[in-house]
Amino acid sequence: MTTLIQRDSSQELVVEEADFRKETIYFVVVDRFFSGSVDNDEVGRAGLFDPNQQLWGNYWGGDLDGLIAKADYFCSLGVTALWLSPLFEQVDDKLHEFAPMHGYWTRDFKRLNPHFIDAGDDTCVHRSTTLRRLVETMHARDIKLILDVVCNHSSPEINGSKGVVLDDGQPLADFNNDVNNFYHHYPSITDWNDEFQLIHFEMMGLATFNESNPDYRRYIKSAICSWLDVGFDALRIDTVKHMPVWFWQEFVTDIQAHKPSTFIFGEYGFGNPKEPRTVEYANHSGMSILDFGLCDAIREAFTNSQRGFCAVQDVLAQDTVYDRANELVTFFDNHDMPRFLSICPDHGKLELATVLLLTLRGIPCLFYGTEQYLVNSTNGGADPYNRPMMTSWDVDGTLVGLIRILSGLRQENRALAYGSQRQQWINPATYVFSRRYRDNRVLVMLNQGDQRSLSLPQCDLPDGLHRCLLTGETVQVNNGCIDEVCLEPMARRVFSVVGDSLDAPVVLKVAVNGYITHPGERIVLTGDCPELGEWDLAASVALEFINGDCWFAEIPFSSSLGRCIRFKAVVLSDGGAPVYENVLHRQYTLPMQGRLKLNLNWSRL
């Protein structure tokens, strides 16, 4: 449960929710997006900036002013949240021809990298005018800001210095003189399946923080809270797998106690639903995670003709292992892997992959430049060549148009944010699926093979004529069936039916996980208030099936505002006795106004 309760001017309780399921995230490597100021290029040690943009390890000039200058571009693209590569002050040096333009060798978590702000601006988070302008500019356009956070490590050994960290300019820790036990002192990881090594040993020589030190924990949490205080809305956490679950539980608890509206997702690198440790972190760390399993499947779908779209469906079929599959952050390329076009140099397939990403379950995240077909395939496109400089901001391109339409649809049609997915047709070359929630429907058709004609006997759309949002082509639905639809090579069709909105002073978005239902079974919520039927199962609120063990509903409240309600989940079946979850009745205090989410696990408080 992640809600922010605060007093408004009328002294009524108001709730602001930490729910990103309708958002479309755009991930920017700040140094490689756009230079809005040249005065900051040469700050710090000489030789770290390359004005010719030929030395891939150097700074190339992108900064916060560049993001501000392109704010209207983000609006034109339709994205609703910006994930920015780390903005913290970095080590002012190079290692093996690489400067920390990426932002993952932090020197001071409470100060900004001077390469990214106006020359002469204060680097302190609370005093930086550049940072304040960024927040104001994006929020004025309803664009949320996501801070990239590194809690696991600081910096590697560079010219005799390692892991030197400051606390708002004051000395705090030094790996080579670790009198306060801020760091683990173990060698580099050699066995990536060894739990102790993953947590305590070094990754690529980076000084690894000692999470058992309460002084370290207080420092890192206070630092991150200072960024939230200036207006960041969410956190992306780096290298989650290298710190124990208990640390993340404490971190998330304290961060959301400070600002409960904070959405948090982490990088469990190259995890997948078949790996128990990935699932443990996804379900028990308190945060969502980046969905590497689906990323791999999408990339395989367009590069392995034998598997094709079946690779995607195979991953989705494992969603029951996750408590919150619809909150996983999905993607198909990022700063640590070759871009999609490096492994599949086909613009048409990139467009299909983007349509797929924006209509599947989860919160989609696009990598900067994907919409402009940005790519550099030197050395196969591996790091650092996957981080070229952005060179085009065309708002009329094909892929930009697709993203704009589908990002808008994610805001409008709740089937994409909350709904279940039903496979309608699949083979390696063709994928047709529907999303549904309440009276909202989305039908998606993709074809990367030869022309094909299909019939869909149960298409999930209501009867009538429906027009594709992307192409304008129409299909006729009679008795729930599409008799025939012709899909040309590289076809993409998206049909949408937007249901009635749910208006009430308070809307509680409830998900129940952990009970695998069988045909004929359904889950309801019953409780001691009128909105939940006052314990009368005949008047209880029905939840909607999402996947094998997840049921969901938005529940409006108007009579019970401001009071503590008591409730529990019950399984009903035709002709069978009701099955109550085996817990004392749950309790929740409703605010007077707001929309909030509540994630429940069957028979677990």
The two tokens of residue 487 are: 């899909």
Q: Which one, of 178, 180, 179, 202, lies nearest residue 190 by Cα?
A: 202
Q: Which one, of 494, 409, 491, lies nearest residue 446 by Cα?
A: 491
Cα dihedral 128, 131, 135, 138 sign: positive
353: three-class secondary structure by DSSP: helix
Name the DSSP class of 149.
E
Q: What is the dihedral of CA 385, 386, 389, 392, to 10 degrees?
A: 130
CB contact at 8 A, 440 and 422? no
Largest pairwise CA distance in the chain: 78
Q: Which among 63, 233, 267, 549 is annotated as catalytic?
A: 267
Q: Which amino acid is at 20?
A: F
Name the DSSP class of 115.
G
Assess whether 72 carries a catalytic annotation: no
Name the DSSP class of 553.
E
Q: Which residues of 377-386 are buried (b: 16+ CB within 10 A; e: fewer)?
A: eeeebeebbb
Q: Which amino acid is at 25?
A: I
Assess whether 460 carries a catalytic annotation: no
CB contact at 8 A, 527 and 478? no
Q: Which among 41, 92, 157, 238 is annotated as catalytic?
A: 238
Contacts 24+ apart (CB under 8 A), 119-123: 119/37, 119/39, 119/40, 119/43, 120/39, 123/89
Active site residues: 238, 267
